[in-house]
Amino acid sequence: MHTVNNTNLNNVGFVSVSDMLSLLQHIGTEAFLLGLVEYLEQDYLRWELFDKSPRFASHSTDGVIELMPTSDQQQFSFKYVNGHPKNTRIGLQTVTAFGVLADVQSGYPLMLSEMTILTALRTAATSAMMAKYLAPKEAKTMAMIGCGAQSEFQILAFKVILGINQVRIYDIDRTAMLKCQQNLANQGLDIILCDSAHEVVKGAEIITTCTADKRNATILTSDMVQDGVHINAIGGDCPGKTELEAALLLRADVFVEYEPQTRIEGDIQQLDSSFVVTEMYKVIRGDRKGRSFAAQLTIFDGVGFAIEDFSALRYVHDLIKQQSSHQQLELLTNQANPRDLFGLLTPATQATRLVVGA
């Protein structure tokens, strides 16, 4: 039986950007990624318990704003996230986000958290988790196409979870490659800068595509990719935004998070509904095979799904509960008589609150 502690529910935990950075410094980014993968796998194993639907998306000429809700009937979460590729031209980030974890029984929020950093971590952890089941065994070399804000997180997660030690990187913006190389200089990785997408995939056992333009692009063509490779395709994540040639998809076994959402937003939006894909919870649970032979070409068509945000928020909430103190927000009213909300507006009540607050 899920019980409610009224005292705790009146305090909403708050995780600011500074708090998230302090948490990562305390735990270590690699250890954080390992713990996050554990939470992701736990929740993928409970797939049927969750509410599932394609995310709400408000599209504009310059980008998209999305809400991503889900619940396991004990806790509810949602994430607000945007995607505006043009933002970097005016000194703003392409993606920003925040999220809420709430108690289902009472409806009270438990935690409000930054999710710009956390989304990058959960996307990287999800990619690496999927690759555990789909990538060639003992893979050591990864190609990274697109060296934006996600790239270092992706590379570090593949190092921690799969043991990747050589990374070939390519971006049309050389300064982005140099940024990635510098950020990963002390991570025990061999970073190789390449001059083209054709060059970067040579010898790579895993290929990650993570580009930002909101358009139907062809970053990888079928002739560029050998059999036996795993492709982690995470840049095609909204309608009209793709990275892989349709012919490449047709050669491969394609795995997705939640098929109804990926049909709308992923690279498989190029194909009709008769094209067969496998939802990854079936692989993680052991109902379906992931990689089953050496020459198999596998693709994870990742768009990001609400259950992954739920896992990330649940993980952070458990971590901050272990701390002796963490920030609290006065986000909710807490009057003595729950039915007397108007009473908070009276001068006497306001004076009492000011004295108590002092």
Q: What residues act catalytically? A: 237
Is the distance from CB of 270 to CB of 240 less than 8 angstroms? no
Burial of 347 (0-12, 13-18, 19+ CB in 10 A): exposed
Q: Beta partners for 42?
A: none
Nearest Cα neighbor of 142 from 120, 126, 130, 158 is 158
Q: How far apart are CA 294 and CA 282, in angstroms?
A: 21
Spatial separation of the C-alpha atoms in residues 28 and 30, rounded to whole Å: 6
| Phi and psi torsions of 31, nearest 5° | -65, -40
- Residues, the chain: 358
